[in-house]
Amino acid sequence: MKTINIAIDGPGGAGKSSISKAIAADLGFIHVDTGAMYRAIALYAVRNECTAPEQIRARIKDIDIELKFIGGVQRVMLCGEDVTDYIRSPEVTMAASKVSAVPEVREHLFDLQKKIAAENNIIMDGRDIGSVVLPNADLKIYLTASAEERASRRYLELREKPDCPTYEEILADIQQRDYNDMHREIAPLTQAEDAVLLDTTSMGFNEVVEHISAMIREIMD
């Protein structure tokens, strides 16, 4: 039986993961957050003080990443440890942008991503899903929003935490990460030619979920 693969790409802070997770739950699909895989490797690099590209290359074969799906919810395993709750810190976020530019890291995760897509109805989000990982996806969406709006959303998400960065710091991080992702040599962030552009700057969360879910249901009918 043919599986249905949905690719959602876009810059950091566009809401790809939370939106994809909600849509997957609604449709009974598996949600694959590829960014979490890179964050897990970044966490390894931060913990082991090996964030330079040559250090990552030397250790990549020792970094075991596994995804477990519990009730359709993704949990990220790093060398046997569930690190799902440890990969969203600002330090790991910035390290992930650097780690994802290392070709050996992308190669390390590529086969796992392809295997999951071949075996399940999935919504996979990331930076190069429609352009590289799933070029034949049934539907490709490029999800974006202005840098200012993305920074505002992230600030509202983090402001209750004692170590919350300022809005200006978050905006600067997002702008720097956008630049890094769009200018890396390997699989840069780009909109696939056949992807649907969806700018959510002035859209609410539920509105976006309903809009994308409707597009997917058209494919399933």
Q: Which residues, 6 or more positions from 21, have their beta carbon under 8 angstroms from its beta carbon?
A: 31, 33, 73, 74
Average of per-residue pLDDT values in the chain: 91
Domain coordinates in residue numbering, the chain: 5-220
204-221 pLDDT, tens digit per residue, is 999 999 999 999 999 987
80-133 pLDDT, tens digit per residue, is 999 999 998 888 988 998 898 899 998 889 988 998 999 889 999 998 899 999
% the chain with pLDDT above 70: 100
Helix, strand, coil shares of the chain as percentages rounded to 5? Answer: 50, 15, 30
pTM of the complete model: 0.83
Q: Residue 27 corresponds to which tokens in the numbers above?
A: 């449709």
**Fold annotation for 5-220:** Rossmann fold (3.40.50)
124-179 pLDDT, tens digit per residue, is 999 889 999 999 999 999 999 999 999 999 999 888 888 889 999 999 999 998 99
What is the helix (H) or strand (E) element at residue 5, kind and residue range? strand 5-9
% the chain with pLDDT above 90: 68
Q: What is the pLDDT of residue 133?
A: 92
Q: Which residues, 6 or more positions from 73, have their beta carbon under 8 angstroms from its beta carbon?
A: 21, 31
Residue 8 has pLDDT above 90, yes or no: yes
- Say if residues 146 and 12 touch (Cβ distance below 8 Å): no
- Which residue, among 215, 200, 216, has the nearest Cα to 28 in the 3D structure? 216
Q: What is the pLDDT of residue 69?
A: 83
Where does the pLDDT of residue 7 fall: very low under 50, low under 70, confident under 90, or very high at 90 and above? Answer: very high
- Say if residues 29 and 121 touch (Cβ distance below 8 Å): yes
AA identity, residue 205: F
- Say if residues 167 and 155 touch (Cβ distance below 8 Å): yes
Q: Please tell me whether residue 3 adopts helix, strand or coil conformation.
A: coil
Q: Which residues, 6 or more positions from 39, have their beta carbon under 8 angstroms from its beta carbon?
A: 76, 87, 88, 92, 93, 96
